[in-house]
Structure 1
Protein backbone atom coordinates (compact mmCIF):
# COMPACT_ATOMS: atom_id res chain seq x y z
CA UNK A 1 0.00 0.00 0.00
CA UNK A 2 2.79 2.40 0.93
CA UNK A 3 4.72 1.58 -2.25
CA UNK A 4 1.64 2.19 -4.37
CA UNK A 5 0.96 5.52 -2.63
CA UNK A 6 4.51 6.70 -3.35
CA UNK A 7 4.20 5.57 -6.96
CA UNK A 8 0.80 7.22 -7.47
CA UNK A 9 1.62 10.59 -5.90
CA UNK A 10 4.85 10.82 -7.94
CA UNK A 11 3.06 9.80 -11.18
CA UNK A 12 5.02 6.54 -11.36
CA UNK A 13 8.24 8.13 -10.17
CA UNK A 14 8.25 11.08 -12.60
CA UNK A 15 7.33 13.96 -10.27
CA UNK A 16 8.76 15.31 -7.02
CA UNK A 17 6.40 15.79 -4.07
CA UNK A 18 6.52 17.27 -0.56
CA UNK A 19 6.15 15.34 2.72
CA UNK A 20 2.90 17.20 3.43
CA UNK A 21 1.48 16.17 0.07
CA UNK A 22 2.21 12.57 1.03
CA UNK A 23 0.39 13.12 4.35
CA UNK A 24 -2.71 14.35 2.52
CA UNK A 25 -2.47 11.54 -0.03
CA UNK A 26 -2.14 8.73 2.54
CA UNK A 27 -4.83 10.25 4.73
CA UNK A 28 -7.22 10.28 1.77
CA UNK A 29 -6.41 6.62 0.96
CA UNK A 30 -7.19 5.56 4.53
CA UNK A 31 -10.33 7.71 4.56
CA UNK A 32 -11.61 6.09 1.35
CA UNK A 33 -11.54 2.67 3.01
CA UNK A 34 -13.09 3.87 6.28
CA UNK A 35 -16.59 4.01 4.85
CA UNK A 36 -17.34 3.09 1.28
CA UNK A 37 -20.93 1.96 0.98
CA UNK A 38 -20.74 2.21 -2.79
CA UNK A 39 -17.89 -0.35 -2.83
CA UNK A 40 -19.39 -2.72 -0.27
CA UNK A 41 -23.09 -2.07 -0.89
CA UNK A 42 -24.12 -5.73 -1.02
CA UNK A 43 -22.18 -6.49 2.15
CA UNK A 44 -23.91 -3.65 4.02
CA UNK A 45 -27.29 -4.85 2.72
CA UNK A 46 -26.55 -8.41 3.83
CA UNK A 47 -25.53 -7.35 7.35
CA UNK A 48 -28.55 -5.07 7.62
CA UNK A 49 -30.95 -7.88 6.71
CA UNK A 50 -29.11 -10.37 8.92
CA UNK A 51 -29.29 -8.19 12.04
CA UNK A 52 -32.88 -7.17 11.21
CA UNK A 53 -33.73 -10.84 11.78
CA UNK A 54 -31.16 -11.74 14.45
CA UNK A 55 -31.65 -8.73 16.77
CA UNK A 56 -35.47 -9.08 17.12
CA UNK A 57 -35.18 -12.88 17.33
CA UNK A 58 -32.41 -13.03 19.94
CA UNK A 59 -32.78 -9.82 21.95
CA UNK A 60 -36.54 -9.70 21.46
CA UNK A 61 -36.76 -13.29 22.68
CA UNK A 62 -34.87 -12.39 25.85
CA UNK A 63 -37.09 -9.37 26.51
CA UNK A 64 -40.35 -11.11 25.66
CA UNK A 65 -40.86 -12.01 29.28
CA UNK A 66 -40.85 -8.31 30.13
CA UNK A 67 -42.35 -6.66 27.05
CA UNK A 68 -44.59 -9.48 25.87
CA UNK A 69 -45.16 -10.40 22.24
CA UNK A 70 -44.46 -6.84 21.09
CA UNK A 71 -40.80 -7.16 22.14
CA UNK A 72 -39.78 -8.35 18.67
CA UNK A 73 -41.25 -5.29 16.94
CA UNK A 74 -39.87 -2.92 19.60
CA UNK A 75 -36.34 -4.31 19.20
CA UNK A 76 -36.62 -4.08 15.41
CA UNK A 77 -37.68 -0.43 15.65
CA UNK A 78 -34.87 0.42 18.09
CA UNK A 79 -32.35 -1.32 15.81
CA UNK A 80 -33.44 0.76 12.79
CA UNK A 81 -33.48 3.93 14.87
CA UNK A 82 -29.89 3.32 16.08
CA UNK A 83 -28.81 2.64 12.50
CA UNK A 84 -30.48 5.86 11.29
CA UNK A 85 -28.68 7.89 13.99
CA UNK A 86 -25.37 6.22 13.07
CA UNK A 87 -25.80 7.02 9.38
CA UNK A 88 -26.78 10.61 10.14
CA UNK A 89 -23.66 11.06 12.27
CA UNK A 90 -21.59 9.73 9.36
CA UNK A 91 -23.04 12.39 7.05
CA UNK A 92 -21.54 15.06 9.34
CA UNK A 93 -18.33 13.23 10.25
CA UNK A 94 -15.04 15.05 9.77
CA UNK A 95 -13.27 11.69 9.63
CA UNK A 96 -15.07 10.52 6.48
CA UNK A 97 -14.52 11.92 3.00
CA UNK A 98 -17.23 13.48 0.86
CA UNK A 99 -17.91 10.23 -1.00
CA UNK A 100 -18.44 8.36 2.26
CA UNK A 101 -20.75 11.07 3.63
CA UNK A 102 -22.85 10.96 0.46
CA UNK A 103 -23.01 7.15 0.64
CA UNK A 104 -24.27 7.43 4.23
CA UNK A 105 -26.89 9.95 3.11
CA UNK A 106 -28.12 7.62 0.37
CA UNK A 107 -28.30 4.72 2.80
CA UNK A 108 -30.26 6.94 5.19
CA UNK A 109 -32.75 7.57 2.38
CA UNK A 110 -33.02 3.82 1.64
CA UNK A 111 -33.49 3.12 5.34
CA UNK A 112 -36.28 5.70 5.42
CA UNK A 113 -38.10 3.88 2.63
CA UNK A 114 -37.66 0.52 4.41
CA UNK A 115 -38.99 1.96 7.68
CA UNK A 116 -41.94 3.55 5.87
CA UNK A 117 -42.97 0.44 3.94
CA UNK A 118 -42.07 -2.15 6.58
CA UNK A 119 -43.20 -0.12 9.59
CA UNK A 120 -46.55 0.83 8.05
CA UNK A 121 -47.18 -2.81 7.11
CA UNK A 122 -46.33 -4.06 10.61
CA UNK A 123 -48.40 -1.32 12.23
CA UNK A 124 -51.51 -2.09 10.19
CA UNK A 125 -51.34 -5.83 9.46
CA UNK A 126 -49.54 -7.33 12.47
CA UNK A 127 -50.13 -4.90 15.34
CA UNK A 128 -53.30 -3.25 14.07
CA UNK A 129 -52.08 -0.14 15.89
CA UNK A 130 -52.45 3.45 14.70
CA UNK A 131 -49.69 4.55 17.09
CA UNK A 132 -47.21 2.06 15.57
CA UNK A 133 -48.32 3.16 12.10
CA UNK A 134 -47.78 6.86 12.97
CA UNK A 135 -44.35 6.19 14.53
CA UNK A 136 -43.23 4.31 11.39
CA UNK A 137 -44.44 7.14 9.13
CA UNK A 138 -42.76 9.86 11.19
CA UNK A 139 -39.46 7.94 11.56
CA UNK A 140 -39.35 6.97 7.89
CA UNK A 141 -40.14 10.49 6.66
CA UNK A 142 -37.52 12.01 8.99
CA UNK A 143 -34.90 9.56 7.67
CA UNK A 144 -35.83 10.37 4.08
CA UNK A 145 -35.71 14.12 4.74
CA UNK A 146 -32.37 14.02 6.57
CA UNK A 147 -30.84 11.77 3.91
CA UNK A 148 -31.97 14.12 1.11
CA UNK A 149 -30.77 17.21 2.97
CA UNK A 150 -27.39 15.75 3.85
CA UNK A 151 -26.91 14.45 0.30
CA UNK A 152 -26.82 18.05 -0.94
CA UNK A 153 -24.59 19.46 1.77
CA UNK A 154 -21.23 20.88 0.72
CA UNK A 155 -17.99 22.08 2.31
CA UNK A 156 -17.95 19.85 5.35
CA UNK A 157 -14.83 20.61 7.36
CA UNK A 158 -12.45 17.66 7.68
CA UNK A 159 -9.80 16.52 10.14
CA UNK A 160 -6.72 14.39 9.55
CA UNK A 161 -6.95 10.72 10.45
CA UNK A 162 -3.15 10.53 10.36
CA UNK A 163 -0.56 12.85 11.87
CA UNK A 164 2.58 14.28 10.33
CA UNK A 165 4.67 12.43 12.94
CA UNK A 166 3.05 9.11 11.97
CA UNK A 167 3.84 9.60 8.31
CA UNK A 168 7.38 10.72 9.20
CA UNK A 169 7.91 7.52 11.21
CA UNK A 170 6.58 5.44 8.32
CA UNK A 171 8.87 7.25 5.89
CA UNK A 172 11.91 6.67 8.08
CA UNK A 173 11.05 2.99 8.48
CA UNK A 174 10.40 2.57 4.76
CA UNK A 175 13.70 4.17 3.80
CA UNK A 176 15.65 2.11 6.35
CA UNK A 177 14.44 -1.07 4.64
CA UNK A 178 13.93 -0.03 1.00
CA UNK A 179 16.39 2.82 0.53
CA UNK A 180 15.83 6.54 -0.08
CA UNK A 181 12.71 7.84 -1.81
CA UNK A 182 14.25 9.86 -4.62
CA UNK A 183 11.20 12.01 -5.38
CA UNK A 184 10.41 13.32 -1.91
CA UNK A 185 11.61 16.89 -1.35
CA UNK A 186 13.46 18.13 1.75
CA UNK A 187 12.57 21.41 3.43
CA UNK A 188 13.49 24.40 1.21
CA UNK A 189 17.01 25.61 1.95
CA UNK A 190 17.68 29.25 2.82
CA UNK A 191 20.67 30.30 0.70
CA UNK A 192 21.50 33.92 1.40
CA UNK A 193 24.72 33.93 -0.62
CA UNK A 194 23.94 35.29 -4.13
CA UNK A 195 24.65 32.88 -6.95
CA UNK A 196 26.93 33.89 -9.82
CA UNK A 197 24.88 34.26 -13.00
CA UNK A 198 26.39 34.61 -16.49
CA UNK A 199 25.93 38.24 -17.73
CA UNK A 200 24.78 36.87 -21.11
CA UNK A 201 21.84 35.24 -19.32
CA UNK A 202 20.86 38.30 -17.27
CA UNK A 203 20.62 40.35 -20.45
CA UNK A 204 17.38 38.49 -21.21
CA UNK A 205 14.04 38.54 -19.44
CA UNK A 206 10.96 36.35 -19.02
CA UNK A 207 7.47 36.70 -20.41
CA UNK A 208 5.90 35.05 -17.38
CA UNK A 209 6.46 34.87 -13.64
CA UNK A 210 4.82 32.42 -11.21
CA UNK A 211 4.72 33.67 -7.61
CA UNK A 212 3.87 31.24 -4.80
CA UNK A 213 2.89 32.14 -1.26
CA UNK A 214 5.23 29.49 0.16
CA UNK A 215 8.75 28.31 -0.54
CA UNK A 216 7.53 24.68 -0.51
CA UNK A 217 5.33 25.15 -3.59
CA UNK A 218 8.01 27.17 -5.39
CA UNK A 219 10.54 24.42 -4.68
CA UNK A 220 8.04 21.80 -5.91
CA UNK A 221 7.52 23.58 -9.25
CA UNK A 222 11.24 24.19 -9.77
CA UNK A 223 12.16 20.58 -8.88
CA UNK A 224 9.64 19.38 -11.49
CA UNK A 225 11.16 21.68 -14.15
CA UNK A 226 8.00 23.75 -14.55
CA UNK A 227 10.13 26.83 -15.33
CA UNK A 228 11.91 25.07 -18.20
CA UNK A 229 8.83 23.47 -19.73
CA UNK A 230 6.73 26.64 -19.52
CA UNK A 231 9.43 29.28 -20.09
CA UNK A 232 8.78 31.23 -16.91
CA UNK A 233 10.46 32.34 -13.71
CA UNK A 234 9.32 30.93 -10.36
CA UNK A 235 9.66 32.77 -7.05
CA UNK A 236 7.95 32.76 -3.68
CA UNK A 237 6.65 35.86 -1.91
CA UNK A 238 9.11 34.97 0.87
CA UNK A 239 12.04 35.46 -1.53
CA UNK A 240 12.78 31.84 -2.46
CA UNK A 241 15.16 30.95 -4.05
CA UNK A 242 17.21 33.57 -2.22
CA UNK A 243 20.42 33.00 -4.18
CA UNK A 244 18.94 34.26 -7.47
CA UNK A 245 15.97 36.31 -6.25
CA UNK A 246 17.42 39.81 -6.81
CA UNK A 247 18.90 38.89 -10.19
CA UNK A 248 15.62 37.36 -11.37
CA UNK A 249 13.64 40.45 -10.32
CA UNK A 250 16.03 42.69 -12.27
CA UNK A 251 15.49 40.57 -15.36
CA UNK A 252 11.71 40.58 -14.92
CA UNK A 253 11.42 44.36 -14.62
CA UNK A 254 12.92 44.72 -18.10
CA UNK A 255 9.78 43.29 -19.71
CA UNK A 256 6.80 45.70 -19.81
CA UNK A 257 4.59 42.89 -21.18
CA UNK A 258 5.30 40.58 -18.25
CA UNK A 259 2.38 38.48 -16.97
CA UNK A 260 2.42 37.42 -13.32
CA UNK A 261 0.60 34.32 -12.08
CA UNK A 262 -0.16 34.01 -8.37
CA UNK A 263 -0.78 30.57 -6.84
CA UNK A 264 -1.47 30.21 -3.14
CA UNK A 265 -3.32 28.52 -0.29
CA UNK A 266 -6.92 29.52 0.27
CA UNK A 267 -6.42 31.22 3.61
CA UNK A 268 -6.11 34.89 4.68
CA UNK A 269 -2.35 34.93 4.05
CA UNK A 270 -2.72 33.38 0.60
CA UNK A 271 -5.64 35.62 -0.36
CA UNK A 272 -3.41 38.63 0.36
CA UNK A 273 -0.71 37.49 -2.10
CA UNK A 274 -1.96 39.50 -5.10
CA UNK A 275 -2.36 42.62 -2.92
CA UNK A 276 1.24 42.22 -1.71
CA UNK A 277 2.49 41.98 -5.29
CA UNK A 278 0.65 45.21 -6.15
CA UNK A 279 1.65 47.25 -3.10
CA UNK A 280 5.16 46.04 -2.19
CA UNK A 281 8.07 48.05 -3.58
CA UNK A 282 10.16 44.86 -3.78
CA UNK A 283 7.64 43.53 -6.28
CA UNK A 284 5.40 45.53 -8.63
CA UNK A 285 4.36 48.73 -6.87
CA UNK A 286 3.16 51.37 -9.40
CA UNK A 287 3.41 48.86 -12.23
CA UNK A 288 0.82 48.28 -14.98
CA UNK A 289 1.59 44.59 -15.50
CA UNK A 290 -1.26 42.07 -15.53
CA UNK A 291 -1.57 39.80 -12.49
CA UNK A 292 -3.59 36.60 -12.82
CA UNK A 293 -4.75 34.90 -9.63
CA UNK A 294 -4.69 31.17 -10.41
CA UNK A 295 -6.03 30.30 -6.95
CA UNK A 296 -6.89 28.91 -4.59
CA UNK A 297 -9.75 31.33 -3.85
CA UNK A 298 -12.98 30.86 -1.88
CA UNK A 299 -14.82 31.59 -5.14
CA UNK A 300 -13.30 28.48 -6.74
CA UNK A 301 -13.96 26.24 -3.73
CA UNK A 302 -17.59 27.36 -3.43
CA UNK A 303 -18.10 26.77 -7.17
CA UNK A 304 -16.49 23.32 -7.00
CA UNK A 305 -18.81 22.38 -4.10
CA UNK A 306 -17.04 19.20 -3.06
CA UNK A 307 -13.91 17.11 -3.29
CA UNK A 308 -11.49 19.47 -1.52
CA UNK A 309 -9.96 18.93 1.92
CA UNK A 310 -11.46 21.88 3.82
CA UNK A 311 -10.11 22.57 7.30
CA UNK A 312 -11.02 25.15 9.92
CA UNK A 313 -9.27 26.95 12.77
CA UNK A 314 -9.97 29.91 15.09
CA UNK A 315 -6.65 31.45 14.03
CA UNK A 316 -7.70 31.50 10.38
CA UNK A 317 -11.05 33.07 11.31
CA UNK A 318 -9.31 35.79 13.30
CA UNK A 319 -6.82 36.50 10.49
CA UNK A 320 -9.69 36.77 7.97
CA UNK A 321 -11.40 39.43 10.07
CA UNK A 322 -8.18 41.45 10.02
CA UNK A 323 -7.82 41.56 6.22
CA UNK A 324 -7.26 45.04 4.85
CA UNK A 325 -10.14 46.93 3.24
CA UNK A 326 -8.49 46.74 -0.20
CA UNK A 327 -8.41 42.93 -0.05
CA UNK A 328 -11.96 42.73 1.30
CA UNK A 329 -13.26 44.83 -1.61
CA UNK A 330 -11.99 42.24 -4.09
CA UNK A 331 -13.99 39.48 -2.39
CA UNK A 332 -17.72 38.81 -2.47
CA UNK A 333 -19.81 38.70 0.70
CA UNK A 334 -20.01 34.90 0.36
CA UNK A 335 -16.22 34.62 0.09
CA UNK A 336 -15.69 36.83 3.14
CA UNK A 337 -18.20 34.78 5.16
CA UNK A 338 -16.38 31.60 4.08
CA UNK A 339 -13.00 32.94 5.24
CA UNK A 340 -14.35 34.46 8.46
CA UNK A 341 -15.83 31.10 9.43
CA UNK A 342 -12.21 29.92 9.76
CA UNK A 343 -12.20 27.62 6.73
CA UNK A 344 -9.08 27.14 4.63
CA UNK A 345 -7.62 24.80 2.00
CA UNK A 346 -3.91 24.19 1.42
CA UNK A 347 -2.32 23.75 -2.00
CA UNK A 348 -0.38 20.78 -0.69
CA UNK A 349 -3.66 18.90 -0.33
CA UNK A 350 -3.45 18.44 -4.13
CA UNK A 351 -1.02 16.14 -5.91
CA UNK A 352 1.95 17.61 -7.84
CA UNK A 353 0.31 16.55 -11.10
CA UNK A 354 -2.91 18.40 -10.26
CA UNK A 355 -1.11 21.62 -9.28
CA UNK A 356 1.02 21.56 -12.44
CA UNK A 357 -1.99 20.93 -14.71
CA UNK A 358 -4.04 23.72 -13.11
CA UNK A 359 -1.15 26.16 -13.46
CA UNK A 360 -0.55 25.19 -17.08
CA UNK A 361 -4.24 25.57 -17.85
CA UNK A 362 -4.31 29.01 -16.20
CA UNK A 363 -1.31 30.18 -18.23
CA UNK A 364 -2.79 28.83 -21.48
CA UNK A 365 -6.15 30.49 -20.74
CA UNK A 366 -4.56 33.90 -20.21
CA UNK A 367 -2.94 34.21 -23.64
CA UNK A 368 -5.67 36.63 -24.73
CA UNK A 369 -6.93 38.51 -21.69
CA UNK A 370 -9.40 40.58 -23.69
CA UNK A 371 -11.11 37.60 -25.31
CA UNK A 372 -14.79 36.98 -24.52
CA UNK A 373 -13.97 33.28 -24.32
CA UNK A 374 -11.41 33.82 -21.58
CA UNK A 375 -11.86 31.74 -18.42
CA UNK A 376 -10.61 34.73 -16.39
CA UNK A 377 -12.65 37.22 -14.42
CA UNK A 378 -11.53 40.86 -14.14
CA UNK A 379 -11.89 41.96 -10.52
CA UNK A 380 -11.25 45.05 -8.42
CA UNK A 381 -11.24 48.71 -9.29
CA UNK A 382 -7.64 49.61 -8.67
CA UNK A 383 -6.70 50.97 -12.08
CA UNK A 384 -4.54 47.90 -12.69
CA UNK A 385 -5.41 44.65 -14.44
CA UNK A 386 -6.10 41.87 -11.96
CA UNK A 387 -7.72 38.63 -13.10
CA UNK A 388 -9.00 35.59 -11.24
CA UNK A 389 -9.25 32.12 -12.74
CA UNK A 390 -12.85 31.03 -12.12
CA UNK A 391 -12.15 27.30 -11.72
CA UNK A 392 -9.24 25.53 -10.01
CA UNK A 393 -8.86 22.83 -12.61
Structure 2
Protein backbone atom coordinates (compact mmCIF):
# COMPACT_ATOMS: atom_id res chain seq x y z
CA UNK A 1 0.00 0.00 0.00
CA UNK A 2 3.03 2.31 0.08
CA UNK A 3 3.58 2.26 -3.68
CA UNK A 4 1.60 4.40 -6.13
CA UNK A 5 -0.85 2.64 -8.46
CA UNK A 6 0.76 0.92 -11.43
CA UNK A 7 -0.11 2.55 -14.78
CA UNK A 8 -1.88 0.07 -17.05
CA UNK A 9 0.19 -1.69 -19.68
CA UNK A 10 3.60 -1.14 -18.04
CA UNK A 11 4.20 -4.58 -16.61
CA UNK A 12 5.80 -6.26 -19.61
CA UNK A 13 9.39 -6.10 -20.72
CA UNK A 14 8.46 -5.19 -24.29
CA UNK A 15 6.69 -1.99 -25.39
CA UNK A 16 3.27 -2.76 -26.76
CA UNK A 17 3.85 -1.92 -30.41
CA UNK A 18 5.32 -3.43 -33.54
CA UNK A 19 7.67 -1.84 -36.00
CA UNK A 20 4.85 0.23 -37.47
CA UNK A 21 4.02 1.74 -34.08
CA UNK A 22 0.76 -0.18 -33.78
CA UNK A 23 -0.13 -2.86 -31.31
CA UNK A 24 -0.30 -6.45 -32.36
CA UNK A 25 -3.60 -7.03 -30.61
CA UNK A 26 -2.31 -9.48 -28.02
CA UNK A 27 -0.61 -7.18 -25.53
CA UNK A 28 2.84 -8.60 -26.30
CA UNK A 29 4.00 -6.34 -29.11
CA UNK A 30 7.63 -5.51 -29.70
CA UNK A 31 9.65 -3.13 -31.81
CA UNK A 32 11.51 -6.16 -33.21
CA UNK A 33 8.98 -8.10 -35.29
CA UNK A 34 11.27 -11.17 -35.63
CA UNK A 35 11.81 -11.63 -31.88
CA UNK A 36 9.19 -14.38 -31.78
CA UNK A 37 11.01 -16.37 -34.47
CA UNK A 38 13.52 -17.55 -31.86
CA UNK A 39 13.12 -19.98 -29.00
CA UNK A 40 12.38 -18.55 -25.57
CA UNK A 41 13.98 -20.77 -22.91
CA UNK A 42 12.57 -18.95 -19.88
CA UNK A 43 9.84 -16.53 -18.92
CA UNK A 44 9.04 -14.86 -15.60
CA UNK A 45 5.46 -14.00 -14.67
CA UNK A 46 4.91 -11.82 -11.59
CA UNK A 47 1.61 -11.62 -9.75
CA UNK A 48 2.36 -8.11 -8.47
CA UNK A 49 2.91 -5.48 -11.21
CA UNK A 50 5.02 -3.40 -8.81
CA UNK A 51 7.44 -6.32 -8.35
CA UNK A 52 7.71 -6.70 -12.13
CA UNK A 53 8.55 -3.00 -12.43
CA UNK A 54 11.21 -3.30 -9.72
CA UNK A 55 12.86 -6.29 -11.42
CA UNK A 56 12.84 -4.50 -14.76
CA UNK A 57 14.34 -1.38 -13.18
CA UNK A 58 17.18 -3.56 -11.86
CA UNK A 59 17.73 -5.08 -15.33
CA UNK A 60 16.93 -8.61 -14.20
CA UNK A 61 15.47 -9.34 -17.64
CA UNK A 62 18.85 -8.52 -19.20
CA UNK A 63 21.05 -10.40 -16.71
CA UNK A 64 18.88 -13.51 -16.82
CA UNK A 65 17.92 -13.21 -20.51
CA UNK A 66 14.36 -13.66 -19.32
CA UNK A 67 11.36 -11.52 -20.27
CA UNK A 68 9.36 -10.29 -17.28
CA UNK A 69 5.58 -10.04 -17.51
CA UNK A 70 2.79 -9.47 -15.05
CA UNK A 71 -0.03 -11.96 -14.67
CA UNK A 72 -2.40 -9.40 -16.14
CA UNK A 73 -0.20 -8.98 -19.22
CA UNK A 74 0.62 -12.67 -19.54
CA UNK A 75 -2.92 -14.07 -19.41
CA UNK A 76 -4.11 -15.12 -21.84
CA UNK A 77 -0.75 -16.11 -23.29
CA UNK A 78 -0.23 -14.83 -26.82
CA UNK A 79 0.03 -17.60 -29.45
CA UNK A 80 3.39 -16.27 -30.65
CA UNK A 81 4.76 -16.29 -27.10
CA UNK A 82 3.59 -19.86 -26.58
CA UNK A 83 5.18 -20.90 -29.88
CA UNK A 84 8.50 -19.29 -28.85
CA UNK A 85 8.47 -21.26 -25.59
CA UNK A 86 7.75 -24.50 -27.42
CA UNK A 87 10.44 -23.77 -30.00
CA UNK A 88 13.12 -23.51 -27.29
CA UNK A 89 12.60 -27.11 -26.14
CA UNK A 90 12.55 -27.55 -22.37
CA UNK A 91 11.45 -23.98 -21.62
CA UNK A 92 10.34 -22.95 -18.13
CA UNK A 93 7.73 -20.39 -17.12
CA UNK A 94 8.67 -19.17 -13.64
CA UNK A 95 5.84 -17.73 -11.54
CA UNK A 96 6.59 -15.29 -8.70
CA UNK A 97 3.54 -14.93 -6.47
CA UNK A 98 2.41 -14.02 -2.98
CA UNK A 99 1.79 -16.54 -0.22
CA UNK A 100 -1.97 -16.28 -0.56
CA UNK A 101 -4.72 -18.46 -2.04
CA UNK A 102 -4.87 -16.34 -5.20
CA UNK A 103 -1.09 -16.41 -5.53
CA UNK A 104 -0.68 -20.13 -4.95
CA UNK A 105 -3.19 -21.05 -7.66
CA UNK A 106 -1.57 -18.73 -10.22
CA UNK A 107 0.89 -21.38 -11.57
CA UNK A 108 -2.06 -23.71 -12.23
CA UNK A 109 -3.89 -20.91 -14.05
CA UNK A 110 -0.88 -20.29 -16.26
CA UNK A 111 -0.48 -24.02 -16.89
CA UNK A 112 -4.11 -24.17 -17.98
CA UNK A 113 -3.66 -21.11 -20.20
CA UNK A 114 -0.67 -22.74 -21.89
CA UNK A 115 -2.64 -25.81 -22.81
CA UNK A 116 -0.98 -28.95 -24.13
CA UNK A 117 2.37 -27.39 -25.09
CA UNK A 118 5.04 -30.13 -25.11
CA UNK A 119 8.32 -29.41 -23.37
CA UNK A 120 7.16 -26.30 -21.48
CA UNK A 121 7.26 -26.47 -17.69
CA UNK A 122 5.51 -24.09 -15.26
CA UNK A 123 7.42 -23.67 -12.02
CA UNK A 124 6.41 -21.80 -8.87
CA UNK A 125 9.17 -19.56 -7.53
CA UNK A 126 7.22 -18.79 -4.33
CA UNK A 127 6.23 -17.42 -1.95
CA UNK A 128 4.70 -20.25 0.06
CA UNK A 129 3.90 -20.11 3.79
CA UNK A 130 7.05 -22.00 4.80
CA UNK A 131 9.13 -19.31 3.07
CA UNK A 132 7.32 -16.71 5.15
CA UNK A 133 8.34 -18.47 8.35
CA UNK A 134 11.93 -19.11 7.21
CA UNK A 135 12.48 -15.49 6.13
CA UNK A 136 10.50 -14.08 9.09
CA UNK A 137 8.40 -11.97 6.78
CA UNK A 138 5.52 -9.85 8.09
CA UNK A 139 2.16 -11.34 7.26
CA UNK A 140 -1.34 -9.97 7.19
CA UNK A 141 -4.73 -11.33 8.02
CA UNK A 142 -7.67 -10.90 5.69
CA UNK A 143 -11.11 -12.41 5.34
CA UNK A 144 -11.24 -16.16 5.81
CA UNK A 145 -11.22 -17.52 2.23
CA UNK A 146 -13.49 -20.43 3.02
CA UNK A 147 -12.42 -24.03 2.52
CA UNK A 148 -8.83 -23.86 1.27
CA UNK A 149 -7.95 -27.54 1.19
CA UNK A 150 -8.53 -29.10 -2.19
CA UNK A 151 -9.15 -25.86 -4.09
CA UNK A 152 -6.38 -26.11 -6.67
CA UNK A 153 -3.52 -25.32 -4.32
CA UNK A 154 -0.15 -26.90 -5.23
CA UNK A 155 0.17 -30.55 -4.20
CA UNK A 156 3.43 -29.91 -2.31
CA UNK A 157 1.71 -27.65 0.20
CA UNK A 158 1.99 -28.97 3.75
CA UNK A 159 -1.19 -29.37 5.87
CA UNK A 160 0.07 -26.74 8.30
CA UNK A 161 0.51 -24.31 5.40
CA UNK A 162 -3.03 -24.95 4.18
CA UNK A 163 -4.35 -24.30 7.69
CA UNK A 164 -2.32 -21.06 7.80
CA UNK A 165 -4.01 -19.93 4.60
CA UNK A 166 -7.44 -21.06 5.83
CA UNK A 167 -7.14 -18.63 8.75
CA UNK A 168 -6.93 -15.76 6.27
CA UNK A 169 -3.19 -15.28 6.63
CA UNK A 170 -1.11 -14.03 3.70
CA UNK A 171 2.29 -12.52 2.94
CA UNK A 172 3.44 -10.55 -0.08
CA UNK A 173 6.57 -10.81 -2.20
CA UNK A 174 7.01 -7.07 -1.56
CA UNK A 175 7.95 -7.94 2.04
CA UNK A 176 11.14 -9.69 0.86
CA UNK A 177 14.20 -7.39 1.04
CA UNK A 178 14.76 -6.13 -2.53
CA UNK A 179 18.42 -7.14 -2.80
CA UNK A 180 17.62 -10.67 -1.63
CA UNK A 181 14.67 -10.90 -4.02
CA UNK A 182 16.78 -9.84 -7.01
CA UNK A 183 19.51 -12.36 -6.13
CA UNK A 184 16.98 -15.16 -5.74
CA UNK A 185 15.22 -14.40 -9.01
CA UNK A 186 18.53 -14.32 -10.88
CA UNK A 187 19.69 -17.57 -9.30
CA UNK A 188 16.47 -19.43 -10.07
CA UNK A 189 15.94 -18.13 -13.60
CA UNK A 190 19.54 -18.61 -14.71
CA UNK A 191 19.72 -22.05 -13.15
CA UNK A 192 22.78 -23.81 -11.81
CA UNK A 193 26.07 -23.13 -13.53
CA UNK A 194 29.04 -25.48 -13.81
CA UNK A 195 31.71 -24.79 -11.21
CA UNK A 196 34.51 -22.58 -12.46
CA UNK A 197 37.98 -23.99 -11.94
CA UNK A 198 40.16 -21.59 -10.01
CA UNK A 199 43.44 -20.35 -11.42
CA UNK A 200 45.24 -21.43 -8.24
CA UNK A 201 44.23 -25.08 -8.70
CA UNK A 202 45.30 -24.97 -12.35
CA UNK A 203 48.74 -23.65 -11.41
CA UNK A 204 49.07 -26.28 -8.69
CA UNK A 205 48.34 -28.98 -11.22
CA UNK A 206 50.98 -27.63 -13.59
CA UNK A 207 53.54 -27.51 -10.78
CA UNK A 208 52.85 -31.13 -9.92
CA UNK A 209 53.61 -32.14 -13.51
CA UNK A 210 56.93 -30.32 -13.48
CA UNK A 211 55.91 -27.11 -15.22
CA UNK A 212 56.97 -23.75 -13.69
CA UNK A 213 59.21 -25.46 -11.13
CA UNK A 214 62.89 -24.90 -10.38
CA UNK A 215 65.15 -27.20 -12.36
CA UNK A 216 66.70 -29.93 -10.30
CA UNK A 217 70.41 -29.79 -9.74
> TM (normalized to structure 2)?
0.68
Equivalent residues of 1:262, 1:294 under 8 A apart: yes
| Residue 300 of structure 1 pairs with residue 146 of structure 2 | no
Q: Structure 2: 5+ residue runs without aligned partners? A: 11-15, 17-22, 195-217
Q: Structure 1: 5+ residue runs without aligned partners? A: 1-19, 24-163, 169-185, 369-393
CA distance 1:239–1:339, shift in 2 (3 Å): same
**Counterpart residue number, 1:313:** 142
**Counterpart residue number, 1:267:** 100
**Counterpart residue number, 2:215:** none
Shift of 1:365: 4.8
CA distance 1:329–1:294, shift in 2 (3 Å): closer
Shift of 1:228: 1.0
| Residue 189 of structure 1 pairs with residue 8 of structure 2 | yes
**Counterpart residue number, 1:234:** 68
Q: Which aligned pairs between 1:38-187 and structure 2 lie closer than 5 A? A: 187=6
| Residue 334 of structure 1 pairs with residue 167 of structure 2 | no
Q: Which has the larger radius of gyration?
A: 1
CA deviation vs aligned residue, 1:63-88 (integer Å, no higher than 9, x gap): xxxxxxxxxxxxxxxxxxxxxxxxxx
Shift of 1:263: 0.7
Shift of 1:264: 0.6
> TM (normalized to structure 1)?
0.40
Shift of 1:285: 4.1
- SS of 2:145's equivalent in the other structure is helix
* Distance of 1:231 and 1:284 partners within structure 2: 24
CA deviation vs aligned residue, 1:16-62 (integer Å, no higher than 9, x gap): xxxx4xx3xxxxxxxxxxxxxxxxxxxxxxxxxxxxxxxxxxxxxxx
| Residue 346 of structure 1 pairs with residue 172 of structure 2 | yes
Equivalent residues of 1:213, 1:270 under 8 A apart: yes
* Distance of 1:350 and 1:287 partners within structure 2: 34
Please report the RMSD computed on the Cα atoms of aligned residues, expressed in angstroms.
3.1
* Distance of 2:130 and 2:42 partners within structure 1: 24
CA deviation vs aligned residue, 1:206-261 (integer Å, no higher than 9, x gap): 2111111232222322232211111112222222599x955434422322210221
| Residue 255 of structure 1 pairs with residue 85 of structure 2 | no
Q: 1:215 aligns with which of 49, 60, 83?
A: 49
Equivalent residues of 1:235, 1:245 under 8 A apart: no
Shift of 1:343: 0.9
CA deviation vs aligned residue, 1:123-150 (integer Å, no higher than 9, x gap): xxxxxxxxxxxxxxxxxxxxxxxxxxxx
- Work out which structure has the larger RCO, using CA pairs closer than 8 Å and 6 or more positions apart in sequence: 2
* Distance of 1:354 and 1:290 partners within structure 2: 25
Equivalent residues of 2:38, 2:88 under 8 A apart: no
* Distance of 2:89 and 2:190 partners within structure 1: 19
* Distance of 1:328 and 1:363 partners within structure 2: 20
* Distance of 1:213 and 1:324 partners within structure 2: 22
Equivalent residues of 2:107, 2:122 under 8 A apart: yes
Shift of 1:347: 1.0
